[in-house]
Structure formats: C-alpha cells, structure tokens
Amino acid sequence: LDTTMASNIGAAAAAVPEIPENADGQNAPNQHVPSLAGSVLECPDGFGGSLLIRLQNMSSTANLGVRLDLKQIALRCRNTEFNPRRFAAVIMRLREPRATALIFSSGRMVVTGTKSTHNSALATRKFAYILERVGFQPAGMLDFKVQNIVGTVDVGFPIRLEGLVFAHPTFSSYEPELFPGLIYRLVQPRVVLLIFVSGKVVITGAKTEAQLIEGLRKMYPVLVEFRKENATSVPGDVPTIAAA
C-alpha cells in the first residue's frame, strides 16, 4: 500500500507543470492567468529609502488587422454596449482580468482598466479570442502597445506648491482656482506629475513602468527641497483622475 501511495504522489508531482523563469531567474506569471505582480512598483528615493508607486490604470492599443461588424459583435457577445449614435465603437468588458475594451470597426482596439502590463496583454489576447469566436480572425500579430500608465504615490510630507512653481516656472503650472494640484511636466522621461499640497502625487504619461520609476526618482529631491516644515498633513485623498 505504501509503495502504491508513493508512486501516486510521485506521478502527481511530475504532472504539475513548472513555472517558467524570466530573465532575472524569478518565477514568471502564467501568461494565461491574471497576476497582481507589477501593480505596485518600488522606487529608490535617492536617500537610502524607497517609495511605493501604485498603478491605478493602464491604457493600451492593438490592431486586429481586419474590418469588424460592430452590430454583429454586440448581438453575439456578452457584456457589450453599442450605441452608434453616441459612440462609434463597441464597449466590451472582462471580469478576469478586469478590463474594458473599445472596439472600432477598423479593427483597432483600446484596452483600459488593467494595472499591469501582463494583465493588459492578457486582456488584449482574450478580447481578440472572443472576436475570433464570433467570426473575425485577427490577421497576424496584434501590434500590442502600452500608450499610458497612471500611478499614484504618497511622499509622506506636505509640499509648498507656491515655492515650487516660482522656482520651476518653465516646467510647472499652478492655478489653484481651477485645479488644486500643481502640474509638472518632465522632459526626460516624458511624464506629467500632478502634485498636491498633501504630498500625494499622480504620475501619468509613462509608456513603461521604468519611465514611471525614473520620473519619480528625478522629481523626489525637488519635492524634498520644497517640503513644508512644521505643518500637519492635509487630510483627504487625491481626486480621481480619468486616464485617457
């Protein structure tokens, strides 16, 4: 009996597929399974510590390379919306990974709502598979590209926005009557930071996670320079930012 159990356990262990390793030698997520990896990025602050960037939204595009009949897609697919008088695209939603696609008759597709490159690429493949089942075979590669990544970070101290915009007028603008945050545009990497007096920062415009990290790494010493001394943090969260 013991010999039979041991052989069964050995066979079961052999049947479990190994998780592939990435270039860093770490276990890579299954390409068909949603993953939370990548939704939080660690950025060195240049002073021996680190900051955590939380990815809030990612927008990507793909091209199926084939003309689509949007009316047929809306009739045959679940979780879809199509009102050609309001918007010339089918809105399709996924639960896993949580994502929304805007599908145009030209075959182009915009995928939003994911929080990692892995999940964005996975959602794009799932949308393409759904359209293939309806009868629209993608022509070759999907030409998947990440167009915008939005992340938020809390630096942990209040910031003097008036002093910051006065010292950096070329790259920043601050109109408190119109918007409570300071808008700072970095040249390299090409990202935009929305900086609030509470110390909350929204970073947008990045096309890779590396650009997000590099933008914060360059900006953090400037924020430390204009740190408010002897001031309590302003309560409240960052206003919701709609990603393009």
CA separation for the pair 193, 172 (Å, rounded):
9
- pTM score of the predicted model: 0.76
pLDDT given at position 233? 47
CB atoms < 10 A from the CB of 207, how many?
A: 18
pLDDT given at position 6? 44
Q: Do the beta carbons of residue 193 and residue 186 sit within 8 Å? A: yes
Q: CA of 243: how far to CAs of 21, 55, 149, 204, in Å?
A: 32, 12, 8, 8
CA separation for the pair 81, 172 (Å, rounded):
40
From the number of C-beta atoms within 10 Å of its C-beta (0-12, 13-18, 19+), residue 204 rates as: buried
Per-residue pLDDT of the chain (244 residues; tens, 9 = 90+): 444 444 443 443 333 333 344 444 444 445 556 555 558 888 888 888 889 999 999 999 999 989 999 999 999 988 899 999 999 999 999 998 899 999 999 999 999 999 989 999 999 999 999 999 988 888 777 889 999 999 999 999 999 999 999 999 999 999 999 999 999 999 999 999 999 999 999 999 999 999 999 999 999 999 999 998 865 545 555 555 544 4
| DSSP string covering 52-107 | EEEEEEEEEEEE-SS---HHHHHHHSSSEE--TTT-SSEEEEETTTTEEEEE-TTS
Summarize the chain as % helix, strand, coil (round to 5).
25, 30, 45
Task: Name residue, tokens 């408190």.
Answer: 176
pLDDT given at position 137? 86
Which sign, positive or negative, has the C-alpha torsion 181, 37, 107, 207?
positive
Length of the chain: 244
CA separation for the pair 13, 112 (Å, rounded):
38
CA separation for the pair 221, 216 (Å, rounded):
9
Helix (H, G, I), strand (E, B) or coil at 147: strand
CA separation for the pair 200, 70 (Å, rounded):
41
pLDDT given at position 44? 86
Token output for 95? 């639960």
Pairing state between β 99-103 and 200-206? unpaired
